[in-house]
């Protein structure tokens, strides 16, 4: 294995220079941010961006890297102020555990990072800040986290399929197609749309630019369980407020922009899924009248996924595929379409082969994760970690509000 999941190959030219000019070096190591008078250099910023890119982080890399470095400075400073340190053994264990998430040894992980222009020191600093912060939060707040047996019982009942307070989301979407050779034009349009600040303007942009069938409704999608969404989008929406518009999200042959219109907790069955069962049938002609007519004929003739086998009888086997995949393994554009669908529903919104092939997509079913045998100690630990996470978020927000942060 030579690459981490979703690693991109764009590496800053500064990492390729063997002997940069002295003036370039001076500029690279000049402060770009100060946090309580402590500098973050341009080199550190470029290194963090390269690390985030290697790990497949979405969104605006420079902005997110700046925020992450500021937060790391605040975390380390708080630990130093309280005289809190972690051992070299803890650091090495944390570094190995993180590499193990990609099923790599430390040497393999270092090799991949090196290929992407990331130094060992950058990776170590990243791990030290996170590991120190976790231990600091446990030491500072663990005594305040008291999980009662009754809470464990209620959580266990919910995990077994009981009615729990599950989040539902109301959103709008704009799907911008990206024809070959026009990537920059599509990205510019997506960046412009992401600056929209009103529901009316977003709806107008959806009607004008979106390739999704929802464009006729101004991009609006009805309420759906948050757990229906691809895992990579859930965190994005949880950080947004109603009216906020997301950064452009890359999809195969397209770019998506989302606007949050509502997020609510309610007495609904909160279900997470271990596997999604769906089928794809490929029709020549993309979104042409002929292809859409053929799709409508198929839709009228079938009631369930297994009926598609008869539709494909006598045709090349590769035209029809059945997929049973974990939510995080599904291509992002297909996952987004499936999120809007109930069992047995069909979508013809997607294409492949540069828009020349329609994807006739049918949802066969979702398999809920089975939690009946989860030990009570595991549930208790999860509840404790959730509460510690809330304390950590509040403490970090306080540190940031009190800090002197200057960005250049």
* Three-class DSSP category at 150: helix
Tracing tokens 């042409």 back to the chain, one arrives at 288
Report the residue count for the chain.
408
Is 0.75 surpassed by the pTM of this model? no
Same fold for the domain at 13-143 and the one at 164-268?
Answer: no
List the domain boundaries for the chain. Answer: 13-143, 164-268, 273-368
Strand partners, 31: 41
Other CB atoms closer than 10 Å to residue 276's CB: what's the count?
23
Hey, which residues does 25 pair with through a beta bridge? none
Distance CA 327, CA 329 (A): 5
> pLDDT of 380-406, one tens digit each?
887 788 788 878 888 898 899 999 999
| CB-CB contact of 159 with 274 (8 Å) | no
Contact (CB, 8 A) for 250 and 56: no
Q: What fold characterizes domain 273-368?
A: Chitinase A; domain 3 (3.10.50)
- For residues 354-391, one letter each, b for 16 or more C-beta atoms within 10 angstroms of the residue's C-beta and e for the rest, the string is ebebbbbbbbbebeeeebeeeeeeebbeebeeebbeeb
Architecture of domain 164-268: Roll (3.10)
pLDDT at 403: 92
Distances (CA, A) of 142 to 11, 86, 303, 306: 41, 17, 54, 52
Residues 247 and 235: their CA atoms lie apart, in Å, by 13
Instruction: Name which of 339, 388, 399, 376 is nearest 160 in CA terms.
Output: 376
254 beta partners: 177, 251
In this prediction, the residues of the chain whose per-residue pLDDT falls under 50 are 1-3, 5-25, 160-165, 267-268, 371-372
What is 13-143's CATH number, 3.30.1780.10, 1.10.150.130, 1.10.4030.10, 1.10.1740.10?
1.10.4030.10
Reported for 70-73, long-range contacts at CB under 8 A and 24+ positions apart, including other chains, are 70/33, 70/35, 70/40, 70/400, 70/403, 70/405, 71/396, 71/400, 72/125, 72/126, 72/129, 72/130, 73/35, 73/36, 73/38, 73/40
Q: What is the pLDDT of residues 78-102, one digit of tens each?
A: 999 999 889 999 999 999 999 888 8
User: Coil, strand, or helix at residue 244?
Assistant: coil
């Amino acid at each position: 294995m030579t690459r981490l999941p979703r690693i991109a190959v764009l590496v800053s030219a500064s990492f390729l220079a063997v002997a940069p000019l002295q003036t370039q070096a001076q500029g690279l190591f000049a402060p770009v941010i100060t946090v309580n008078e402590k500098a973050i250099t341009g080199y550190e910023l470029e290194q963090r961006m390269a690390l985030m890119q290697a790990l497949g982080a979405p969104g605006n890399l420079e902005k997110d890297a700046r925020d992450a470095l500021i937060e790391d400075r605040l975390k380390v400073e708080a630990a130093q102020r309280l005289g809190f340190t972690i051992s070299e053994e803890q650091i090495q264990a944390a570094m190995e555990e993180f590499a193990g998430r990609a099923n790599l040894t430390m040497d393999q992980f270092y090799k991949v990072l090196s290929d992407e222009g990331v130094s060992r020191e950058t990776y170590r600093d990243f791990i030290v800040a996170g590991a120190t912060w976790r231990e600091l939060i446990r030491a500072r707040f663990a005594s305040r986290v008291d999980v009662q047996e009754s809470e464990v019982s209620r959580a266990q009942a919910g995990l077994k399929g009981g009615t729990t307070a599950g989040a539902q989301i109301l959103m709008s979407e704009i799907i911008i197609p990206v024809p070959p050779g026009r990537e920059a034009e599509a990205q510019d349009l997506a960046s412009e749309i992401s600056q929209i600040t009103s529901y009316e303007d977003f709806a107008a942009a959806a009607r004008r630019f979106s390739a999704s069938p929802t464009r006729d409704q101004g991009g609006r999608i009805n309420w759906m369980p948050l757990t229906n969404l691809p895992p990579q989008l859930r965190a994005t929406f949880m950080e947004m407020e109603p009216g906020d518009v997301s950064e452009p999200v890359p999809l195969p042959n397209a770019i998506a922009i989302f606007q949050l219109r509502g997020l609510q907790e309610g007495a609904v069955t909160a279900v997470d899924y271990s596997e999604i069962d769906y089928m794809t049938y490929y029709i020549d002609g993309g979104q042409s009248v002929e292809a859409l007519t053929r799709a409508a004929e198929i839709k009228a003739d079938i009631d369930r996924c297994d009926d598609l086998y008869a539709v494909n009888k006598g045709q090349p086997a590769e035209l029809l595929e059945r997929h049973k995949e974990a939510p995080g393994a599904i291509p992002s554009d297909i996952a987004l379409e499936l999120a809007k669908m109930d069992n047995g529903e069909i979508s013809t919104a997607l294409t492949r082969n540069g828009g020349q092939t329609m994807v006739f997509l049918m949802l066969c079913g979702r398999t809920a994760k089975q939690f009946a045998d989860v030990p009570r100690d595991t549930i208790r630990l999860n509840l404790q970690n959730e509460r510690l996470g809330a304390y950590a978020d509040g403490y970090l927000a306080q540190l940031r509000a009190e800090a002197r942060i200057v960005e250049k």
